[in-house]
Structure 1
Amino acid sequence: MSVEFALEFHGRDADKNRLDLYDASISYNGMARVISILGHYYVTGDVISHAPKSVVQIYLYPPEAGSFRTTVAAAVIGGVITVPFAVLVQRTFDDWFPRPDPQMQQVIELLQEQNKLLRQEGGVAIEKTEEEKNQEVRADRFIEEKAPDFLTLRGITANSFKDIFRPVGRSADYVAMTSGPFRTPISSIDESAAIRIQSERLDQKIETIVGVVNNLSRSSKTGIIFSEERGRSIPFQDNIPGRLPPEDDYSWSQHFRRKIEITGRFVYWFDGRVKRFLVENMRRLED
């Protein structure tokens, strides 16, 4: 089953039915990676950091004539939760987005009216049914119960998530995001919201984490460490100057499933939740 998500850019070059090619390619690549990783979690319940390993295939449809609206489709089969994938993505993004300002709220309200018209044309109830409302409640409950996983997913996809909005403020004024054939609104992001999504705060407090590395990218010096004490996986970025040496401690921990100790500082999102851990020192914990 394919689940559709659409990005519709407005203003500037987008109103001339064009976008900067570099901006657009970064945006679609970011969307593909985020949906791939969320889709893999939806199907398997496993958190991955490499999108090519996802069990979900992502397809790009051509832009619609007369607008710069492009649809991305995810081929999703099954799931660890009994709500549609589109609903889970919508509620997840809603949790990750900043609250819309009055101008963007007006755009969202227009999208909601458009959604009602399309539902009516499709022979579907204009207002959300009780089952659709229950699906949203179940999705919110699932996200709350699996909060550590979704915090990790948010950290893993952070760079790709902000890339989705690359054209905003450059070749477009804002982007509207919808899902499904009836264009159910997810959100609308303008330049100020895109800046907030990218913003972060570095904690000045030095902390220590003991855990086992689950994922590692040597080229970017990033990965995920699971801490039993904190009860969750934490994205980290090595901030020690230079390249990782051969047989580094992160690789040792990942390969042998042994604990390491990392010291550094937390980086927080605009909403105060943990984004990643910047490592300033590390060492192996031998028996």
Structure 2
Amino acid sequence: MPALAQHRLKVRYTGGLADDSVLPAYDGATSIDGITRAIHIATHAYMTGEVVSRATALRGASLLIKPARQGSFIFEIIAMIEANPATTGVAAALGSAPFYDFLKVALRRATGWLDAEPETKHLKKLYDRKQPPALMKPPADLDALAETLEGSLQDAHRPIGPEGTIGKIEIGSPRRKLLTFDTETKDWVNTREEAENITVYQGNVTRYNALSRNGRAFIDQLDKVVPIRPDGDFPAGDLAHLTWSLHGSNIGARSKLLLRARTVTSAGGKVKRLLLADCARAPAD
């Protein structure tokens, strides 16, 4: 039998009906399914380095669920993890800290905390590398994973009000809270629209994954870093501009781009990501 590590996640619903240890049947069941599905997809990414859109069969791991307990409405998810996940390798395979850190970053980015970064030493080192170590698969693209998780997290947030019957949902390890779902995160995961018109932004690329083509850029007009992704009509020849801008950012040189993009916004009107139509080097000041 392979070595197994057991990681426990406590999910607590509070406010409204949850304070009486009950949930509305349909919305509550949908929420529990959404949370479980999101953790399943994130665990798959942790174990394999692959981002999938469905809760496909886990490799090297399994998830169990324990029944609800009194005290608000609480249930537990237990992740049984084998050694050698793609995200950590042998050294940190069975430790709980990297797994909880990975879940926290993935779920926080998916709910609007775009600046969430790994905190454990091993994950920070892994994601700071320009290339993965020899014979090791690249780790999962966290921005691609965050985008993929949005559908599951829409279901997870279903009972949260003002029109809902639950105040918030907290997810944590046995020792500490990892993140909270509330009305603000519900607005974020419920994307309002993808703009039809093109907006021209100026900024510089701060991160770019040549395999997934997902990246990040500091956008001058927004004064923050946002996820970016070449859209289907993006010219292949413009990919070189993205890598040029990233290289300039890494060495502290001016590497501004003009980014023509369709804007994806949340239900609350916040910019979630930019879908790039094309880009060009910005003229010097």
**Contact 1:26–1:166, Cα closer than 8 Å, also in 2:** yes
**Contact 2:263–2:273, Cα closer than 8 Å, also in 1:** no
Tell me the amino acid that sits aligned with residue 164 of structure 1. Answer: A
Deviations 1:170-195 (A, max 9, x none): 2211111212x22x221222223312
Tell me the amino acid that sits aligned with residue 205 of structure 1. Answer: N
**Contact 1:31–1:161, Cα closer than 8 Å, also in 2:** yes
- Find the partner of 1:97 among 111, 120, 128: 111
Percent identical: 21
- Find the partner of 1:61 among 61, 66, 70: 66
Q: TM-score, normalised by structure 1?
A: 0.56
- Find the partner of 1:196 among 188, 197, 210: 188
Cα shift at 1:9: 0.9
Q: Distance in 2 between matches of 1:28 and 1:265?
A: 33
**Local SS of the residue matching 1:52:** coil
**Local SS of the residue matching 2:169:** strand
Per the alignment, do residues 142 and 155 of structure 1 end up closer, same or farther by CA in structure 2, a change over 3 Å counting? Answer: farther
Q: Distance in 1 between matches of 2:275 and 2:153?
A: 13
**Contact 1:90–1:186, Cα closer than 8 Å, also in 2:** yes
Asked if 1:162 is matched to 2:154, the reply is yes
Q: Distance in 2 between matches of 1:50 and 1:34?
A: 9
| Residue matched to 1:48 | 52
Cα shift at 1:201: 3.8
Q: Distance in 1 between matches of 2:130 and 2:178?
A: 16
Tell me the amino acid that sits aligned with residue 33 of structure 2. Answer: N
Deviations 1:72-127 (A, max 9, x none): 1222223123352221111222323335xxxxxxxxxxxxxxxxxxxxxxxxxxxx
Q: Distance in 1 between matches of 2:42 and 2:126?
A: 13
Tell me the amino acid that sits aligned with residue 121 of structure 2. Answer: N
User: Within 5 A, what are the aligned runs for 1:11-160?
Assistant: 11-55=15-59, 56-77=61-82, 78-82=84-88, 84-98=98-112, 133-135=120-122, 137-138=124-125, 141=128, 149-160=141-152
Q: Which runs of 4+ in 1 moved over 6 A?
A: 142-148
Tell me the amino acid that sits aligned with residue 154 of structure 1. Answer: A
| Residue matched to 2:272 | 272
**Contact 2:264–2:271, Cα closer than 8 Å, also in 1:** no
| Residue matched to 2:222 | none
Query: Which runs of 5 or more residues in structure 2 are unaligned?
Result: 93-97, 114-118, 133-137, 200-231, 240-260, 278-285
**Local SS of the residue matching 1:200:** strand
| Residue matched to 1:173 | 167
**Contact 1:8–1:176, Cα closer than 8 Å, also in 2:** yes
**Contact 1:155–1:276, Cα closer than 8 Å, also in 2:** no
Cα shift at 1:68: 0.8
Q: Distance in 1 between matches of 2:130 and 2:107?
A: 11
Query: Which runs of 5 or more residues in structure 1 are unaligned?
Result: 100-131, 208-224, 232-263, 278-287
| Residue matched to 2:243 | none
| Number of equivalenced pairs | 195
Q: Distance in 2 between matches of 1:172 and 1:206?
A: 38
- Over aligned residue pairs, what C-alpha RMSD do you find? 3.8
Q: Distance in 1 between matches of 2:276 and 2:56?
A: 22
**Local SS of the residue matching 2:160:** coil
Deviations 1:190-210 (A, max 9, x none): 223312331334222379xxx
| Residue matched to 1:185 | 177
